[in-house]
Homo-oligomer: A and B are copies of this chain.
Amino acid sequence: MQTSAVAQNIYDNAEFFARYSQLPRQTQGLVGAPEWPAIRALLPDMRGRRVVDLGCGFGWFSRWARQHGAASVVAIDLSENMIARAKADTFDVAITYRKADLERLELPESAFDFAYSALAFHYVRDFPRLLETIHRSLVAGAQLVFTIEHPIYMAAMRPNWLCDEDGHKTWPINRYSVEGERRTDWFAQGVLKYHRTLGTTLNTLIATGFEVRHVEEFAPTAEQIAENPELAAEMERPMLLLLSARR
């Protein structure tokens, strides 16, 4: 375990950032992410809402929220690179970009009507603290929608495809119940993530005072697989977890 609660900031590694920036979900935005239609189905009407976007990256969601009627967006990211790029792509004074570490995040109380986060919370070690901060920053009845890497995807020591005894494409699970650091090589060596069981993620939400509203273990639709046959592998094991909760 780390002793200081400062997140690893892989996104400001120049080589990582250059390669990450070429992902379809960065070059094409939200429509480049196969899970986007499933996320969108969980979102409330944006009109008039004060939104906080935690781990905003290039700001694709923040701009989408404003285009769909959000009153304002506070968009937060740890990475200078991300914030600089997001600002360069944004011409909207109702979106405020702010550099902050989710491990140490401070937010104003009862300031937001909707909280969103895509693929950021699995980098956070102190998840209970972060959820308490978000909970306090939301008004009663407000929704939190977030995505993380699925613990089935993250758990194993060697998260690479295997074959079972009959040759079926198979994903390995081990150490599922051993929570904590996971280091993988993804555009850079030793990218640090924190594995939590699905039970821990849900129970932490509940203990913080959220009501769990929807749990989506993302799988592509038949239409998505027909368009992009590589996605068929996602039926074998979920890579992403989409959660909706209500304060």
Q: Which of A10-18, A115-123, A230-238 contacts B (4 or more CB under 8 A)?
A: A230-238
A162 adjacent to chain B (CB < 8 Å) = yes
Is A177 in contact with B215, judged by CB distance below 8 angstroms?
no
Q: How far is the CA of A176 from the CA of B121 in the complex (A)?
A: 23
Name the distance in Å between A164's Cβ and chain B's nearest Cβ.
5
Q: Mask for A160-191, Cβ within 8 A of B = 1, else 0?
A: 10101110111111111110000000000000
- Which listed segment binds B: A61-69, A89-97, A196-204? A196-204
Given A199-B217, A217-B198, check contact A174 B178 (CB 8 Å): no
Q: How long is the Cα–Cα vector from A172 to B165 in the complex, in angstroms?
A: 10
At the interface, yes or no: A206 with Cβ under 8 Å from chain B? yes
Q: Number of copies of this chain in the oligomer?
A: 2
Q: A158: which of B156, B157, B166, B173 is its contact (CB, 8 Å)?
A: B166
Contact A165 B158 (CB under 8 A): yes
User: Is B198 touching A176 in the complex (CB atoms < 8 A)?
Assistant: no
Q: Tell me the chain A residues, 205-247 only, with Cβ under 8 Å from chain B.
A: 206, 211-217, 219, 234-238
Given A177-B237, A211-B211, 10 more A-B residue pairs with CB atoms under 8 Å apart are: A152-B152, A158-B164, A160-B165, A169-B174, A171-B174, A172-B172, A176-B217, A177-B235, A177-B238, A203-B214
Residues on A facing B (Cβ under 8 Å): 152, 156-158, 160, 162, 164-166, 168-178, 197-199, 202-203, 206, 211-217, 219, 234-238
